[in-house]
Structure 1
């Protein structure tokens, strides 16, 4: 399958959309890090939003104060969540177990 040739306007629109999505994801993680938003609220918000649902679960866990890579990895292993899983790839049972653990 050939890669479609995009016009400069289409390329600019795609760049703008990608930049905005990255900003939204960074903002969500910053709000969790500052304590303005709880992990469960952030998770609920990310599940409903297409661009926010692309955050890796481990990255959102690491945004929680006092949770580093080791603790985030431990949480992921205990809940049987793959290390490369994104929010949109979580099942309903995984989401409920995360919510219970991090209330």
Structure 2
């Protein structure tokens, strides 16, 4: 399915919106890494940009958790590799919070 053609103004607005979302996600990951935000706070966020972050990226940004450990944890908890925060079910959220109880 082809995307409709965008005017230069629409294209610029879309690029600006995407850049702002990337910046916000980067700030959240940095805050998680340094303990300024908890996992519980991120999971409870109503920000569209944060809700569209993958669970793998979220876990990989936690202190002492890298990409490999994040993948292992996702597999252990039965969460899809491509799952985004907004797509987590209640039980999946609870399992994540229980796994990282010191985080939230």
Q: Same fold (TM over 0.5)?
A: yes
Q: Normalising by the residue count of structure 1, what TM-score does the alignment of the two structures yield?
A: 0.89
Call closer, same or farther: CA 1:38–1:6 in 2, change over 3 Å. same
User: Deviations along 1:2-50, whole A, 9 cap, x unmatched?
Assistant: 53221111111111111101111111101001111112212212xx222
Q: RMSD in angstroms over aligned alpha carbons?
A: 1.4
Indicate the structure with greater helix content: 1
Distance in 2, Cα, partners of 1:2 & 1:55: 25
Structure 1: 5+ residue runs without aligned partners? Answer: none
The answer to whether residue 96 in structure 2 is matched with residue 90 in structure 1 is no
Runs of 4 or more above 4 Å deviation: none
TM-score (normalizing by structure 2)? 0.88
Residues 18-97 of structure 1 correspond to what in structure 2 (within 5 A)? Answer: 18-45=18-45, 48-97=46-95
Secondary structure at the aligned position of 1:12 is classed as helix
